């Protein structure tokens, strides 16, 4: 049975491996992403800070003492511009060997509940349109496209 719970610092290596997996999967969608960033000490330190930060929600999906997925985020830093509080889902990754089993949905549901407890009325996230599996998951969960980012090399 898959359990969704708060991440623990002693699970750092498993969480880091999932973050690297996510990074590598997103590389084809953005030519400006540093290919080897997630091999750096800076990346490890950033992740460690994110797990420790009290303002963050950092959850893992675990089954039989194995971490199968992660989700993290925080209250949107631009909340002062909104009428109601907005949570930001920063990262969602399910191990490629455990996808299509509902784990992503479980992680998103648990994240949503934690955000509700913090007073959020909305959750937003960013996704690459070309990442069809992720977009499909988000849309099935009720997310709607509301903004488009543009980029231009200069």
Structural domain boundaries in the chain: 3-140
Among 3.30.70.260, 3.40.80.10, 3.40.630.30, 3.30.360.10, what is the CATH number of 3-140? Answer: 3.40.630.30
Query: What tokens appear for 52 in the block?
Result: 């420790």
- What distance in Å separates the CA atoms of residue 16 and residue 89, rounded to the nearest whole number? 17
The confidence score (pLDDT) of residue 65 equals 93
- Report pLDDT digits (tens) over 79-99: 678 889 999 999 999 999 999
Torsion of CA 122, 128, 132, 136, to 10 degrees: 0
Q: What is the torsional sign of CA 22, 25, 26, 32?
A: positive
Query: 140: which residues sit within 8 A by CB, 6+ positions away?
Result: 105
pTM of the predicted model as reported, rounded to 2 decimal places: 0.91
- What distance in Å separates the CA atoms of residue 77 and residue 62, rounded to the nearest whole number? 29
Sheet strands side by side (includes 57-63): 3-6, 57-63, 66-75, 86-94, 122-125
Query: 107: which residues sit within 8 A by CB, 6+ positions away?
Result: 4, 59, 61, 69, 70, 71, 92, 94
The confidence score (pLDDT) of residue 67 equals 97
Positions in the chain whose pLDDT score sits under 70: 79
């Amino acid at each position: 049975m898959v359990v969704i719970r708060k991440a623990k610092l002693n699970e750092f290596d498993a969480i880091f491996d999932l973050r690297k997996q996510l990074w590598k999967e997103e590389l084809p969608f953005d030519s400006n992403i540093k290919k080897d960033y997630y091999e750096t000490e800076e990346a490890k330190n950033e992740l460690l800070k994110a797990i420790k930060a009290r303002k963050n929600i950092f959850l893992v999906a675990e089954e039989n003492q194995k971490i199968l997925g992660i989700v993290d985020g925080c209250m949107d830093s631009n909340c002062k511009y909104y009428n109601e509080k907005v949570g930001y889902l920063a990262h969602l990754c399910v191990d490629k060997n455990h996808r299509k089993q509902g784990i992503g949905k479980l992680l998103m549901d648990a994240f949503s509940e934690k955000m509700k407890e913090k007073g959020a009325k909305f959750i937003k996230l960013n996704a690459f349109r070309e990442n069809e599996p992720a977009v499909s998951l988000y849309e099935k969960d009720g997310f709607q496209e509301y903004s488009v980012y543009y980029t231009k090399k200069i």
